[in-house]
Chains A and B, each alone.
With several copies, the nearest count.
Chain A
């Protein structure tokens, strides 16, 4: 099968959906001639022109507000927000508008709007360009949140996002966007449904729920622990955190009796905490050990290699946590 990287996956998904459905268009900063910060949607401007690939003034509230206005009147915008950190500028559009309109208006409206944004640390871009905000976005009923961990999933999930009739936030981890790692993808069209976790590695001793860039790190740790200790990790990747496929996680914990949630977020207010809380209730009887969360510390993301590497959760942090519950 052919192989593509994360960036290509993104570009292909958007290109295919624009081809398929004339209602789909792109709005955001530097989406035109520049083709996105890394040229990831290069070519679309040449193909569709400035009417459908719309470079905007620097005004995130206007971008999302306008996207909402088009979504409720028959179009399907893809609003490219660049760094998810910038969405603070347009928070009300997400918090109080797109996610609440359908409910407030008694279900008589739909808001088919996809937002994509870079997320996560690892590029040394410090506190205002490195956050993982999924835990914060998760607090808004009405929003679906996609957090892919590889190119294959990214493509299939982004296509599903664009076809969804609800607001969807698609987060692209920087290490995946800049990293060259490739996945096999089918030549033809495929989509991946929301709310279906994937078991990235089967195992029997400990369940590790991991997201985005942490999935690869979890796989690395699993390999290491298998070889060094004969310990068998099961790695579960939720892929969408809203909706969240809790059943796959519960089934896994039922089998392993142990859970570590491994995400790149500040510990407080994290998706990881949410997973732990669910299992501490609905999976309590399966548990043989405390539920561990391996996250970043409750600090802004620091600049520089040394501090940021310390800040980011990694294989060692994960292994340490696993050791604590498997001795």
Chain B
């Protein structure tokens, strides 16, 4: 697969931006600036980066509780995100949703999800909508290994399959659902094998490798766009931090953590690009600097933004 240089640099920018955003979120949470609970995507950035690279602005994604990376990759605005996390009126959801509930319909981001797995049948509906409206929009639905055990995984994918809807189901298998490992929650090695139950392709991909994800999802997107139906893609990945900010994650074996840290998706991609001579170290530094600046501005925006007024609690229940 050959990918244009500009595209590769875009992907690199995306993965860096996600990483730097999440690192800052983690800091701001620790500093007490972000209330509630926050799940960061550090370690898993290659998945959103590689997958969403195939989408047009009018395509859809369905995200999860660990959703910042998806939104950034789809073109979400860091300042509106950060403001939302800070519970400010200028945030994506007017400060009403917080980390687990950001949506941006303008760029086809249909929402994060506080209830694990809830997005799966909704994504099927987005696919149905594209079909019924006669567009060739596709939908990528992200969810975790934990979510792959919930009933709606089954119902949602089955429906997408029998109707051959343009939906790509991307399981981000980071081996853990909070403290429960996949080894005790699935009796199979690969979530991808569950595609058999719906007569759709099931593909396993290295979720630490942007290029691998890019390639696998590319095929699935092509398939979906031409009306051949859904694909189930499983990206093997790992979350580098606790389940939520504040979770020490002591249930995970240290060797396992180290093994995965050694396969940092950002490092891997950087090395690949440098080796391919698509990126210089200097460029990498610049991109990093830009990302840090963007994040800093987002934090500044968030900090300077006003809180909503208490009475705004009462708005936005009904259209």
Using CB atoms and an 8 Å cutoff, list the residues of chain A in contact with chain B.
25, 29-30, 32-34, 51-52, 55-62, 64-75, 85-86, 88-89, 92-93, 96-97, 101-112, 123-129, 141-142, 144, 165-166, 297-300, 302-307, 309-311
Query: By the criterion CB–CB under 8 Å, are B319 and A166 in contact?
Result: yes
* 28 residue pairs bridging A and B, Cβ less than 8 Å apart: A32-B179, A56-B180, A56-B185, A57-B184, A59-B159, A61-B152, A62-B121, A65-B125, A65-B152, A66-B156, A73-B130, A105-B102, A106-B94, A106-B95, A107-B94, A126-B97, A128-B115, A142-B318, A166-B319, A297-B314, A299-B314, A299-B317, A302-B95, A302-B313, A303-B36, A304-B98, A306-B310, A310-B310
Are B317 and A89 in contact, CB atoms less than 8 angstroms apart?
no
B93 interface hit (Cβ, 8 Å): yes
The interface residues of chain B lying within 8 Å CB-to-CB of A166 are 318-319
Q: Is the CB of B313 within 8 A of A104?
A: no
Is there an interface contact between A96 and B118, defined as CB atoms closer than 8 Å?
Answer: yes
Given the known inter-chain contacts A123-B36, A128-B101, please indicate yes or no for A69 contacting B179, CB distance below 8 A: no
B:184-226 near A, CB below 8 Å: 184-186
> Who on chain A is nearest to B60 by CB?
A73
B73 at the interface (CB under 8 A from A): no
A106 and B185 contact, Cβ closer than 8 Å, known pairs A303-B97, A303-B101: no
| Contact (Cβ within 8 A) A66 B121 | yes
User: Is A72 a contact of B316 with CB atoms below 8 Å?
Assistant: no
The minimal Cβ–Cβ distance linking A74 to chain B, given in whole angstroms, is 6
Q: How far is the CB of B29 from chain A (nearest CB, A)?
A: 11
In the complex, which of the residues B102, B179, B317 contacts A33, with contact meaning CB atoms closer than 8 Å?
A: B179
B162 at the interface (CB under 8 A from A): yes
Residues of B at under 8 Å CB distance from A? Answer: 35-37, 60, 87, 91-98, 100-105, 110-111, 114-118, 120-130, 132-133, 146-147, 149-152, 154-156, 158-159, 162, 177-180, 184-186, 251, 307-319
In the bound complex, residues from chain B placing their C-beta under 8 Å from that of A68 are: 121-122, 125
Q: How far is the CB of A111 from chain B (nearest CB, A)?
A: 8
How far is B123's CA from A62's CA once the two chains are assembled, in angstroms?
A: 10
B249 and chain A: residue at smallest CB distance: A34
Taking a contact as CB atoms closer than 8 A, the residue among B128, B149, B152, B154 that contacts A69 in the complex is B128
Inter-chain CA distance A67–B311, complex, in Å, is 32
A88 to chain B: which residues have CB within 8 Å? 115
Contact A108 B125 (CB under 8 A): no
Verify B316–A106 contact, CB threshold 8 A. yes
The distance in angstroms between the C-alpha atoms of A88 and B115, with both chains bound, is 9
In the complex the two chains form, is B98's CB within 8 Å of A303's CB?
Answer: yes
User: Complex Cα distance A107/B312, Å?
Assistant: 11
B164 vs chain A, min Cβ distance (A): 12
Smallest beta-carbon distance A212→chain B, Å: 20
Interface-central residue, A60, A70, A166, by most chain B CB under 10 Å: A70
Name the B residues within 8 Å of A297 (CB-CB).
Answer: 313-314
Nearest-Cβ distance from residue A67 to partner chain B, whole angstroms:
6
Please indicate the chain A residues that have their CB under 8 angstroms from the CB of B155 in the complex.
57, 59-62, 65
- Please name all residues of chain A whose beta carbon is closer than 8 Å to the beta carbon of B156 when the two chains form the complex: 61-62, 65-66
Bound complex: CA of A42 vs CA of B126, how far in Å? 27
- Residues of chain A lying within 8 A (CB to CB) of residue B152: 61-62, 65
A67-B125, A129-B114, A298-B317 given; 11 more Cβ-contact pairs under 8 Å: A62-B152, A65-B155, A73-B126, A86-B115, A104-B103, A105-B96, A109-B103, A128-B101, A128-B114, A304-B96, A304-B308
Q: Which residues of A contact B124 (CB under 8 A)?
A: 62, 65-66, 69
Q: Which residues of A contact B96 (CB under 8 A)?
A: 103-106, 126-127, 302-304, 307
Residues of B within 8 A of A128 (CB): 100-101, 114-115
Question: Please, how many angstroms separate the alpha-carbon atoms of A62 and B149 in the complex?
Answer: 10
Give A119 Cβ to nearest chain B Cβ, in Å.
15
User: Given that A86-B115, A126-B97 are contacting pairs, would A58 and B125 also be in contact in the complex, using a CB cutoff of 8 Å?
Assistant: no
Among B37, B105, B185, the residue within 8 A (CB) of A125 is: B37
- Residues of A contacting B149 with CB < 8 Å? 57-59
B110 and A306 form a contact (CB under 8 A): no
Q: Are A69 and B110 in contact (CB under 8 A)?
A: yes
Sort A-B residue pairs by CB-CB distance and give the 3 closest, nearest first.
Answer: A69-B125, A65-B121, A304-B87
Distance to closest chain B CB from A251 (angstroms): 25
Select from chain B the residue with minimum beta-carbon distance to A27.
B128
